[in-house]
Structure 1
Amino acid sequence: MVWRETGIMDERLRFVVECLSGEETMTQLCAAFDISRKTGYKWLGRYREHGPEGLHDLPRAPLNHGRATAFDLVERIVAAKEAHPLWGPKKIMARLRRSDPSCGWPAVSTAGEILKRHGLVGRRRRRWKAAGNGPWPEPEGPNAVWTGDHKGWFRTRDGWRCEPLTVMDASSRYLLGLEATGSTADEEAWPVFERLFEENGLPDRFRSDNGPPFASAGISGLTPLAVRFIKLGIALERIQPGKPQQNGRHERFHLSMLPMASAPEADRAAQAQAFEVFRRSYNEERPHEALGMDTPAQHYRPSTRPMPKTIPEPDYPAEAAVRSVRQNGEIKWNGDFIYISKTLAGEAVAATETEEGEWALHFYAHRLGFIDGRHKKLVRRSAVQPRPDGTAADNNLGGKL
């Protein structure tokens, strides 16, 4: 009799019952059921040990197969995840391989399965993709572009309002500053930047949004912090309103520090300490995929432009019309007064005539806009409209000294 595909449990049970009845020998029963004596004794032994449940098929996979990850490696992978709960298996394995390159670490996919078995993998969120570099060229190296922003505020456990100020090098992703400031005011931001400039030197350009303390809603868009940057020879890059992707790398970083806002510290001092621990880990331990799983610290180096001891005077062209900004923010132009910015009160600005006959107004190397002589005001963009033949139309924006 052959084991049947259907009712196989019934066949095994009938075999055992007849075997226990003793009416036939094991050899005779095995021949009748068309099985080997080894198989017959196996089912009889399982029945005696476990009862009818022992006649079910057991899993075929070995408890320990030759390709299983060694227990000590599993422990180290799990420990690394517990130490860095926000890291995925890619960063975990990159960190472990860097710390012990001679060890036979498993693949990232295997590490992911290990973390999943230990309940250390949560629901995967939709990944935020940082788009491009906006309208500007890619930074050619460290300190070519620094980026800055204020992360959304939260309160520490004692009720203090924290407005985290974040500053990053765009090329290396090195987190230069993560400060527990209490507002977006210039007087809180400048000491942070002053220290960063002293420690790291000056960047060539600085990119930000159009909010305080980096920019204002006035026609010049200047704040006291922006004025200091300009006087230090730092070019300003401002993203377009409603286009956070133009500062996408910085915005993506803010997602990495988001959990800190949901688990605030006891007070301002404790929050500042937690920020510094996070900053060091981000720079020196956390692998970055855009850097080939290197850390930002492996790619950053200080600027070759040191913070000057004294601020240099503006070097305006000899042919420029230099004007001093009055306390009310105006300059005198062609017998009239034109408002520029109260932020520039006491500073010297210079107007130079363009090939189209306009007067472009500058503060140091920063262009403030164009003088509209007809309406006696400063405008941000040129109003010269090219004719079909390519020449400029006379829009009477200029004025005589």
Structure 2
Amino acid sequence: MPWEESCAMDQRVSLIGDWLGGEWTVVELSERYGISRKTAYKWIDRYRAEGSAGLSERSHAPRVHGRATPVELAAAIIEQKLARPSWGPRKIIAKLEERYPEAAWPVPSTAGEILKREGLVQPRRRRHRVPPTLGGLTVAERPNQVWATDHKGWFRLGNGERCEPLTIGDGYARYLLGLTAGDSTRGEEARAEFERSFEENGLPEIMRSDNGSPFASPGVTGLTRLSAWWAKLGIRHERTAPGKPQQNGRQERFHLTLREAIEPAAADRAAQAARFAEFRAYYNHERPHEALGQTPPARHYQPSPRPLPKRLPEPEYPREADIRRVRSNGEIKWAGDFLFVSEVLVGEWVAIEERETGELRMRFYNTPIGVIDPQQKRLRRVGAPARRRPNPTQLSPIHPV
């Protein structure tokens, strides 16, 4: 007759106490406590091996059940995690299914439990995420429609030099088009990487960036030498709103992934550049991307049909437009006076067109760069309200002019 669950532990202790007293045989103890001799010997053996802790009840769950992941598959999951520490269970399973489609791989949640048991998964701190928004910017629907660019933020190399990575990515395919290990955010340095990307992949329709150097300037036109060059190539420049990094969220998210190629930093610039080149190949052709159905970006990208021209085209302005050449001081002559435009456009031709509303809009190639305020005789930003001159009759009599 089995022991009652409510006092099983007490009876085991009592059994061992009687056995230690030496007055009872195992057969007599079995009859006394209503258990089999096999059960009596089990608890005596556990006491001998573990002491009083051995009398506690153990789990009856099977050590290996019928649905357990085979050892060799679990080992492959662990091996892939060790090879790519930044990958999560979904990427790991997607890559293993691609390499060995004949195997019955577990679902990502099971792979996560396997990694957790091995201590290879660290709990993540939950963050309050702001819903992403493009704020009226173009949503990429095909390759080369929107490229995004940004500087990740500088870090120190092993030799103490400063490194300012520039990244260029396709907004649709997430394809990494450019990645540098430069030492600054100068426009000349960035242009060299854009030239290489354009020669290799052709021209995009739109280039998206923030409002920082070398992509934009705080001047009325917002142009820099780099963005003026984009305008000549027929590339429309979209700028995110100040303080809205989520509008360029894919590029911002990529910068978190880029840590794999930065931490720890390489010894010098040449070594970091080599590491970036290796990372770019891995990111484009090997690393599964969740937004692409756990496939690498290279499967979704193709070069642009618009090649980089050998010579920059001349602007095509309509005959009815008022065309002016920007002087050496950044001004144009207009309505018998001088109007400052931008020093970036010195020597370039701009067009002034009157719209149906009477607004005088100035553009450089196909890029609107400002609106002429006839009263103030100055250029203001597109969309900015015109300043009105005060009416002398409305001034306060307390402060006569």
How high is the TM-score relative to the length of structure 2? 0.89
Q: What's the counterpart of residue 313 of structure 1?
A: 314
Structure 1 vs Structure 2: percent identity of aligned residues? 53
1:299 corresponds to which letter in structure 2? H
Summarize the alignment of residues 1-400 of structure 1 with structure 2, pairs less than 5 Å apart.
3-15=3-15, 21=22, 26=27, 29-47=29-47, 53-126=53-126, 131-258=132-259, 260-382=261-383
Distance 1:178 1:164 in 2: 7
RMSD between superposed Cα atoms in Å: 2.4
In the alignment, the residues of structure 2 paired with residue 129 and residue 264 of structure 1 have an alpha-carbon distance, to the nearest angstrom, of 30
CA contact (8 A) 2:321 2:353 kept: yes
TM-fit CA distance, 1:61? 2.5
User: In the alignment, is the contact (CA less than 8 A) between 2:369 and 2:382 conserved in 1?
Assistant: no
Superposed displacement of residue 310, structure 1: 1.3
8 A contact 2:261–2:279 mirrored in 1:
no
Q: Tell me how far 1:57 sits from its aligned partner.
A: 2.7
Q: CA deviation at 1:277?
A: 1.7
| Matched-pair contact (CA < 8 Å) for 1:209–1:239 | yes
1:129·1:252 contact (CA, 8 Å) conserved in 2?
A: no
What amino acid sits opposite 2:331 in the alignment?
E
Residue 396 (structure 2) aligns with:
none
Contact kept? 1:358, 1:370, Cα under 8 Å: yes
2:397: which partner in 1? none
User: Aligned equivalents of 1:184 and 1:48: distance in 2?
Assistant: 73
Q: CA deviation at 1:17?
A: 5.8
**C-alpha separation between the residues in 2 aligned to 1:49 and 1:186?**
75
**What is the rounded CA distance, in whole Å, between the counterparts of 1:347 and 1:165 in structure 2?**
28
Distance 1:361 1:227 in 2: 14
Q: Output the amino acid matched with 2:280.
A: R
Give the drift of 1:50: 5.5
Match of 1:399 in 2: none
Letter in 2 for 1:91: K
CA change 1:62–1:333 in 2 (3 A) is: same
- CA separation of 1:54/1:353 partners in 2, compared to 1, >3 Å: closer, same or farther? closer
CA apart distance, 1:166: 0.5
Return the offset for 1:32.
Answer: 3.6
**How far off is 1:316 after superposition?**
0.6
Q: Distance in 2 between matches of 1:244 and 1:49?
A: 63
User: Letter of the aligned partner of 1:166 in structure 2?
Assistant: T
CA deviations 1:351-370 (Å, max 9, x no partner) are 11111112111110001111
Shift of 1:126: 3.3
Where does residue 390 of structure 1 map in the other structure? none
Deviation at 1:180, TM superposition (A): 0.7
**How many angstroms apart in 2 are the aligned matches of 1:286 and 1:174?**
11
Deviation at 1:304, TM superposition (A): 1.0
